[in-house]
Structure formats: C-alpha cells, structure tokens
C-alpha cells in the first residue's frame, strides 16, 4: 500500500518523478550502476527499512542494504542491483537486500523472484539467494527461485540460462550440487518428527507445467527470450491456441528437440532377467502431447547391455500419431548392468594324529558371506531394509556381517562394504568428481534407534535378539522394555528361514549378502547428495544357483598340514556370473607317539661290563616297522641310562614323536673286606727322615690287584703312623 504524504511532500515528489520521466531511458538502464534501485512496481508494494518501518515508495528510489521489498496480492516489482543484474518479485513475496562491498545476498523469506544476471560475475563479486532451506550461488545466469509457503513446503530453483550452485544441509553437513540450464531443483525440509536434521534435493528437467505466467511475462518484459531459448527452446515458443492446429493432418512442425531417454538399472546376478521397460524420460515435449514407447533391453547373465527405445509414437490430445510433425527426436540408450555375484567357497578343517591313513574333511559348500560355518543358523548374518521419512531406504545390521555390493549403472562404478550388527547403511550418489559416484554411509544404531518393525521381529525371535545384542553390544533388557511399550497387536506371522516374521518382513529381511540396485530416473537424474529412496535404490539378497555343487578334495596322510581343496561342478550355472573367493579349511596331521623302552640291570662291582639287552618299540602304525637295540654298558661302580639305537625300517621318522622310557644300569661297590697295611720301620736318630713305602693288601678277590703307596715321615726321636694312598 502506498504511503500517505503531506501535500508539500507530494508536490516535491511529483516534481521529482516528472524529472525522472523526462530523463529516464529504458528499464534495464534506468538506474546508476553502483546502486540498488526500485525500477518499477504495480499493485500493493512497500519497502521496510532495517528496523521494520515502512518508508516512502516511488520508482527509481534507492535501496539501502538491509531493507526489504514486499509485494501484495496481484502485485509485482523489479529492482536493479546494478547495470547487469535485475531481480523481479512475484506477488505475495518478501525479499531483503544486503550488500557488503562486492558481496550481495538476497534473502527470500516468502514468495518468488526472477533474477537476470546478464554478465558473469567478477572474481571479487558474489551474489547469493537465500531461503530457509537452501542457498543459490549465482555466477551469471537467469534463475527463478521460490520459497515454500509453509514449514513443510519445499523451496525450488529453476535455471533458465547457464547454471547455478545449490547449497543445502546434507547428511554430512553442508552439501552442494550444480543445477544446469533447463533443470529444476526442489529442496525438501526435514520432517519435524525426523531425528535427522538434513534436507535433500530432487532435480528434474523443466516442463511447461513448471513455467508460470509471471516467469513468461518477466522474460518478455526484460527482453531475454533469445537467451532463455538457447537452453530452454520450448519456453516462449509460439504455441497454437487450439488443439486442432496439432492434428495429424495439420500443416505444422515442432522444431524444438525432443529427447527420449531409456533408463538404467543394475543388480548382482540372480538368474532372473533385468529389464527397465517403462519410465522413459521425456525431455522437451510440450504438455499437450504424450509419448508411447517400447523399450526392449534385457540382460540375465553378468555383463552390460543397452536399454534401447526401439519404438515410439508422439500422440496429440485426440490420440492421433503426430510423430512425423516433430523435426528433432533423439533417443538415448540406458544401461542394464548385471555384476557377477560374489560367492565364497568353503571347505571344512580337520585334525588327527598320524595313523597311516589319509585325513579328509568332505564337508564343503558355498556362502555369500566369508567366514560362514556349517553349524550357523541361516539367519546368522542378517540385516533389515527399513523405509525412513521421504521414502529413503536404509539397511539395518541385525546380526553378524552383511556384505553389500552396489553399482551405479550410469557410471558403472561398483563398491563393496561390510555392514556389521549395530550399524545402518544408506546409499547416495555423487557427481563422481571428488569421490566415487556411489557412496555408502554407515552410522551406528542404538537401542532407541531401532524401528518398530525390528523390535517386533526381535520379540518373536528371542534367539535372534540374543545374538543381535551380543554382536551389536546392545542392552537386551532395554530392548525388551521398548518391546513391552509397543502398542498391542496380533498381526499375521509366517515361518521363514527358521524365523517367525510378519509377511512384509520376507522381502525386507536380508540374509547373507545383499545387493544395492541403483535406479537412475528423473528424481536423481542430475545426481544428489541425499539418501536414495525406495524407487531409486533397492536391497536384494544374492541368489545361489541350486545346481552348483562343491566337493572337498583335500587329503593329508603324513605329518603336516595342507589346504582342504575343492572341485566345483557348475551344473547349469555359468561361471562368468560369479566372482569366487575362498574360505578353505586346513587338514592337519600331528605326529603319533612312538615309545622306546629299554631294560634295567644292576650288580656289585666285579670288574666286568654290566648290560641289559632288552629294547622294545611301541606305537607303530599299521604294518610299519622300526627296531630298537639297547647299547648301554657299565663296568665301574655307578649309574647310567640304558641307551639305544633306533632303526626305522619301513616307518617314516617324521610321522612319529619318540618318547623314551629308558632303563638304568647300576654297579655298586663290592662288599668284600680289603685290608691295607703300611710297612713299619725303626732306626736310631741320625738327622735324616725315616720313611716307609711298602703297602700290603689282604682280602682282594682272586685275579685283582691293588696299587697303594704308604705316606709318612719321622725325623726326630719318636713314632708316627704311615698313611696309605690307594
């Protein structure tokens, strides 16, 4: 609403306005290049200063930084930011202008604006448009930005020339994508009940239904039709007013290009054909027409095939085929990708003591998860697909480990990741410039994060709950209390994979490995950083061909160890459809105990050698032979083990661990009494020592001799004993 002015003020302003009219050139040149000015307005429009007070309003009035322009019902206004930038406001809009040197920010609080930047910004310039959920970075382009009217309404960006940078609060913090010409991006705010405070964009091709009358009027008023039609040739093109002018017999030609894009898909090999017959993306076709297409691509075995649009027809509203009236129709093939399924061949381990016979472990099989053991329940490695707000899908790890394999069918990038119990996995696509184009994001899951479906599944399967709490380190009592707080219900239950579950859980419960199938469609055609939804990413378990048979072939006879090898019979399966890894057991043979025993003997010393010829070998396997011979001998008094020599004969010494049980040879001193007597001598003192050297022995056994020496000396008068050394 225009402000009420006093008569003198009104007169001055009228005079000022007349002067402006006399000197005012065209719209885009009617302001100074270094200031923000209101170029024109119609309807109920007002300007508020930084404090929220309304100020006077007139065309070409200057704007200060921090001021806000507001349009009412049926109103509009245009502001020149400088000589290369014009922003136009639609009805019921509110935008605040802030400028600091070369940096300018337009905060769109409600409504919509149209921005024309005719020249690329200098290096020291920046221009951003802010809404509550996004920021649009401008370089030099034509864009339309609309702010959601309510808290849950999305904000949107349409690029009519060039490209714009779109910033938003993503899963990992501030995220960005580039939105090119002829594309529209929609930013959805997080749901109030969603604990994850992040937004996500949807990017799709502009259609005639997206273009408002305000946009068309502004394009015409600014004289930028030629620039807009370079990237969006269908905008502003002459369109006959009546459908009859589009009849099959009419003399008309649609010259703008129409593109039909067959979509892409991927999966791991599961024995079933992969096709994407529907959902052809149509670009550049006016809303007056529809298209009928036939897409024939399909692939079963691992590899890549084109998904082709083989037939198409463009129909008018009367159902007539008007394809021949379209001068430029292009078809673009999609890609159908089947990746080889990862399989793990396992063989059992075994161990025994050497017994001369081969050791084998015939148990063998195939798993889709490495490390699986034959006595594990089928649900040992389990995960669960859950649909979050905005139909985004995540995979919850329940127990064990799930190996997830995913492919982006557009870039053909593939990734594998391990999802452990107590974690959840989401899938995103990126532009592939700084990261892989398929991104896996794993987050921890607490007991209170578990969705109701998983709590009910745990309540019906106490063994699964106990295993999950052990693997994920969850508090079982806390989970039981959460289960007890659930609303009472008695849903149908079915038995599947040794578990009791709701019928819907059959397709949600992933056992062993899982595959992420990524579908590239209009919702994510230009990539995004948000979590993919249920129409864009699917989790499917790997399916084994039942005709594949694995046989363990390992054998170990002698002491040692070897890998338990295998042979595989592919049956009707094609080996090229699988990528094999091995988790093979070990066959271990340990040495057999071989005991060598020798005899014992003892006697009194008699001067002859003491021996014991007894020697025995125990523990030989089967018919193998080995011999032991006692070699111990002892003559003098003392003790020693009865040693032996071992002759292996037909036995292999490496197959045995020798354990000795040796006898003892003992010779004790002879019990007979032997008397040694030293010689006695007498003489008169003569100053010289008197010595005696003779020794006599009594009691020696017959045939024995003894050497002995008397030791003694006496010089002075007297007597002393003579000692004997023997």
| Domain CATH code at residue 664 | 3.10.430
Q: Is residue 236 part of a domain?
A: no
User: Do both 646 and 720 map to the same domain?
Assistant: no
* Encoded tokens for 356: 């001369």
Q: Provide the residue range defining the domain that includes 629.
A: 592-668
- Give me the percent of the chain exceeding a pLDDT of 70: 86
Count how many Cα atoms sit within 13 Å of the Cα of residue 717 in the half-sphere of its side chain.
2
What is the reported pLDDT for 661?
Answer: 96
Q: Is residue 528 part of a domain?
A: yes
User: Do both 704 and 623 map to the same domain?
Assistant: no
Q: Is residue 480 part of a domain?
A: yes
Phi/psi of residue 634, each to 5°?
-145, 125
User: Do both 14 and 130 map to the same domain?
Assistant: yes
CATH number (domain holding residue 296): 2.60.40
User: Do both 283 and 162 map to the same domain?
Assistant: no
Q: Are 454 and 398 in contact (CB under 8 A)?
A: yes
Q: Are 142 and 162 in contact (CB under 8 A)?
A: yes
Above 70 in pLDDT, residue 199? no
User: Do both 211 and 171 map to the same domain?
Assistant: yes
Closest C-alpha among 158, 157, 164, 124 to residue 140: 164
CA 478 to chain centre: 28
- Give me the percent of the chain exceeding a pLDDT of 90: 41
The mean pLDDT value of the chain amounts to 83
Cα–Cα distance between 109 and 132 in angstroms, integer? 7
User: Do both 710 and 653 map to the same domain?
Assistant: no
User: Do both 198 and 287 map to the same domain?
Assistant: no
Q: Is residue 570 part of a domain?
A: no
Question: Among residues 201, 217, 233, which one ends one of the domains?
Answer: 217
Cα–Cα distance between 272 and 266 in angstroms, integer? 12
Q: Is residue 242 part of a domain?
A: no
CATH number (domain holding residue 188): 2.60.120.1440
| Strand ranges, E, within 196-244 | 200-205
Q: Are 279 and 525 in contact (CB under 8 A)?
A: no
User: Do both 611 and 518 map to the same domain?
Assistant: no
What is the reported pLDDT for 672?
Answer: 63
Question: Among residues 171, 196, 217, which one ends one of the domains?
Answer: 217
Please provide the DSSP assignment of 311-350 as one string: EEEEE-TT--B-GGGBS-EEEE-EEEEEEPEEEEEEE--E
Lowest mean pLDDT among 60-64, 360-364, 553-557, 576-580: 60-64
Q: How many domains does the chain have?
A: 5
Above 90 in pLDDT, residue 397? yes
User: Do both 467 and 514 map to the same domain?
Assistant: yes
User: Do both 393 and 297 map to the same domain?
Assistant: no
Structure-model confidence comparison of residues 650 and 701, the more confident one: 650
Cα–Cα distance between 559 and 154 in angstroms, integer? 73
DSSP state letter for 284: S
Q: Are 313 and 328 in contact (CB under 8 A)?
A: no
Q: Find residue 617's DSSP bridge partners.
A: 596
Above 50 in pLDDT, residue 17? no
Structure-model confidence comparison of residues 21 and 100, the more confident one: 100
Taking the CB of residue 143, how many other CB atoms lie within 10 A of it? 23
User: Do both 118 and 16 map to the same domain?
Assistant: yes
Q: Are 400 and 380 in contact (CB under 8 A)?
A: yes
Q: Are 403 and 418 in contact (CB under 8 A)?
A: yes
Q: Say which residues have a Cβ less than 8 Å from residue 568's Cβ, sequence separation at least 6.
A: 345, 548, 549, 550, 551
Q: Return the residue matching tokens 């054909």.
A: 273
Cα–Cα distance between 452 and 457 in angstroms, integer? 9
The most confident of the ranges 297-306, 490-499, 518-527, 689-698 is 297-306
Helical pair 476-484 and 462-472, crossing angle rounded to 10 deg: 130
Q: Is residue 702 part of a domain?
A: yes
* Encoded tokens for 113: 């604006």
What is the reported pLDDT for 43?
Answer: 92
Q: Is residue 555 part of a domain?
A: no
Q: Is residue 419 part of a domain?
A: yes
Above 50 in pLDDT, residue 4? no
Question: Among residues 479, 512, 543, which one ends one of the domains?
Answer: 543
Above 50 in pLDDT, residue 7? no
User: Do both 476 and 536 map to the same domain?
Assistant: yes
């Amino acid at each position: 609403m225009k402000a009420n002015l006093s008569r003198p003020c009104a007169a001055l302003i009228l005079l000022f306005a007349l002067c402006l009219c006399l000197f005012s050139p065209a719209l885009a040149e009617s302001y100074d290049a270094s200031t923000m000015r209101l170029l024109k307005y119609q309807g109920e429009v007002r300007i508020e200063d930084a404090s929220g007070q309304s100020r006077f309003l007139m065309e070409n009035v200057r704007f200060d930084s921090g001021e806000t322009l507001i349009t009412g019902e049926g109103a509009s206004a245009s502001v020149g930011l400088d000589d290369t930038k014009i922003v136009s406001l639609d009805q019921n809009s509110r935008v605040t202008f802030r400028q600091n040197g070369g940096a300018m920010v337009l905060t769109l609080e409600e409504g919509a604006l149209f921005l024309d930047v005719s020249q690329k910004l200098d290096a020291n310039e920046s221009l951003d448009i802010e809404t509550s959920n996004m920021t649009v970075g401008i370089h030099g382009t034509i864009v339309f930005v609309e702010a959601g009217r309510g808290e849950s309404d999305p904000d949107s960006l349409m690029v009519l020339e060039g490209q714009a940078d779109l910033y938003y609060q993503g899963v990992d913090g501030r995220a960005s994508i580039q939105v090119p010409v002829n594309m529209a991006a929609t930013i959805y705010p997080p749901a109030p009940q969603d604990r994850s405070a992040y937004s996500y964009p949807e990017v799709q091709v502009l259609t005639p239904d997206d273009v408002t009358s305000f946009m068309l009027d502004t394009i015409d008023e600014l004289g930028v039709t030629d620039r807009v039609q370079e990237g969006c040739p269908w905008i502003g093109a002459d369109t006959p007013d009546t459908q009859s002018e589009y009849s099959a017999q009419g003399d008309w030609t649609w010259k703008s290009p129409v593109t039909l894009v067959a979509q892409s898909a991927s999966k791991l090999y599961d024995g079933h054909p992969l096709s994407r017959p529907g959902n052809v993306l149509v670009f550049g076709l006016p809303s007056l027409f529809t298209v009928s297409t036939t897409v024939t691509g399909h692939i079963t075995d691992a590899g890549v095939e084109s998904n082709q649009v083989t037939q198409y027809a463009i129909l008018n509203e009367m159902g007539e085929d008007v394809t021949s009236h379209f001068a430029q129709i292009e078809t673009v093939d999609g890609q159908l990708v089947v990746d080889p399924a990862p399989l793990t061949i396992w063989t059992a381990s075994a161990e025994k003591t050497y017994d001369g016979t081969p050791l084998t472990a015939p148990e063998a099989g195939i798993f889709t998860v490495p490390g699986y053991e034959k006595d594990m329940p089928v649900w040992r490695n389990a995960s669960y697909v859950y649909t979050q707000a905005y139909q985004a899908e995540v995979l919850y790890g329940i127990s064990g480990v799930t190996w997830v394999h995913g492919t982006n069918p557009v870039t053909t990038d593939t990734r594998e990741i391990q999802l452990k119990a107590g974690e959840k996995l989401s899938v995103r696509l990126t532009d592939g410039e700084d990261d892989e184009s398929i991104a896996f994001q794993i987050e921890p899951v607490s007991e209170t994060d578990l969705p109701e479906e998983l709590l009910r599944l745990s309540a019906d399967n106490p063994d699964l709950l106990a295993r999950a709490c052990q693997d994920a380190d969850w508090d079982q009592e806390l989970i039981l209390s959460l289960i007890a707080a659930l609303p009472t219900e008695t849903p149908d239950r079915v038995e599947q994979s040794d578990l009791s579950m709701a019928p819907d859980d059959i397709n949600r419960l992933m056992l062993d490995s899982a595959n992420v199938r990524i579908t590239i469609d209009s919702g994510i055609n230009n990539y995004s950083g948000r979590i993919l939804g249920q129409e864009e990413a699917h989790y499917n378990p790997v399916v084994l061909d039942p005709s594949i048979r694995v046989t363990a072939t390992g054998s170990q006879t002698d002491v040692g160890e070897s890998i338990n090898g295998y042979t595989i019979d592919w049956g009707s399966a094609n080996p090229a459809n699988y990528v094999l890894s091995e988790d093979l057991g070990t066959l271990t043979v340990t040495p057999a105990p071989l005991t060598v025993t020798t005899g014992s003997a003892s006697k009194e010393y008699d001067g002859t050698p003491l021996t014991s010829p007894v020697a025995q070998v125990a523990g030989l396997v089967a018919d193998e032979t080995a011999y032991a011979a006692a070699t111990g001998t002892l003559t003098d008094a003392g003790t020693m083990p009865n040693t032996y020599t071992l002759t292996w004969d037909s036995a292999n010494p490496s197959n045995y661990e020798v354990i000795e049980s040796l006898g003892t040879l003992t010779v004790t001193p002879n019990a007979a009494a032997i008397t040694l007597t030293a010689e006695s001598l007498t003489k008169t003192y003569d100053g010289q020592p008197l010595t005696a050297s003779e020794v006599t022995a009594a009691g020696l056994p017959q045939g024995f001799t003894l050497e002995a020496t008397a030791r003694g000396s006496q010089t002075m008068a007297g007597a002393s004993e003579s000692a004997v050394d023997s």
